[in-house]
Amino acid sequence: MAFQILLNFILGFIWMFLSNDYSSLAFAKGYFFGILILFVLRRFFQHRFYFYNVIAIIRLLYIFLVELVKSNLSVLKVILSPKLNLRPGIFALETELEKEWEITILSNLITLTPGTLVLEVSEDNKTLYIHAMDIDDVEQAKLDIKNTFEKAIKEVSR
């Protein structure tokens, strides 16, 4: 992926030299045409066309922000309700992610989701121990959410 970005930059510079115009607008034009060229030539690279990764990263950021707002609303509901009816607990979650940065991002996402906080990552990087604010019915839903997160992160690292 980094190789393709570098190639795209070089194409932008070549465009600047070809058109003898050294402004940032010319570079942007060249970069855009470079994207098109790389898209046409995508089957010659080992990895997939890098713009898919860019889109996946943007989608991950969007998920982050939405989850942050949702978790705040749920925390507000718990705090401002007149009676504290919460049943906290710790549960284990198996994860399929392998690289360390993926696990870091996953645990950051889990920490920002409604009602969950990561307590510990096991030594073999396979299990996350999560403190949940309400353990009752949430656990299944939590697992579903985590599957979508895991899928989004996998989509980025593919």
CB of 130 to another protein, least distance (A): 9
Which one, 57 or 119, has the nearer CB to another protein?
119
Tokens of 7: 């190639």
Among 54, 56, 60, 135, binds another protein (CB under 8 A): 135
For residue 119, how many C-alpha atoms fall within 13 Å in the half-sphere facing its CB?
A: 13
Q: In sequence order, which residues have a C-beta less than 8 Å from that of residue 75 and are 6 or more positions away? A: 114, 115, 133
Among 4, 115, 146, 156, binds another protein (CB under 8 A): 115
Among 75, 147, 148, 154, binds another protein (CB under 8 A): 75
**Helical segments of 45-137, H only:** 50-80, 100-112
Beta bridge partners of 137: none
* Residue 39 engages another protein in binding (rule: CB under 8 A): no
* Residue 2 engages another protein in binding (rule: CB under 8 A): no
- Residue 89, classified by CB atoms within 10 Å of its CB into exposed (0-12), middle (13-18) or buried (19+), is middle
3-state helix, strand, coil in the chain (%, to 5): 65, 10, 25
Among 37, 58, 69, 143, binds another protein (CB under 8 A): 69
Among 123, 137, 140, 151, binds another protein (CB under 8 A): 123
Residue with tokens 């007149």: 82
* Residue 131 engages another protein in binding (rule: CB under 8 A): yes
Given the rule CB under 8 A, which residues bind another protein? 64, 68-69, 71-72, 75-76, 78-80, 84, 86-92, 107-108, 111-112, 115, 117-120, 122-123, 127, 129, 131, 133, 135
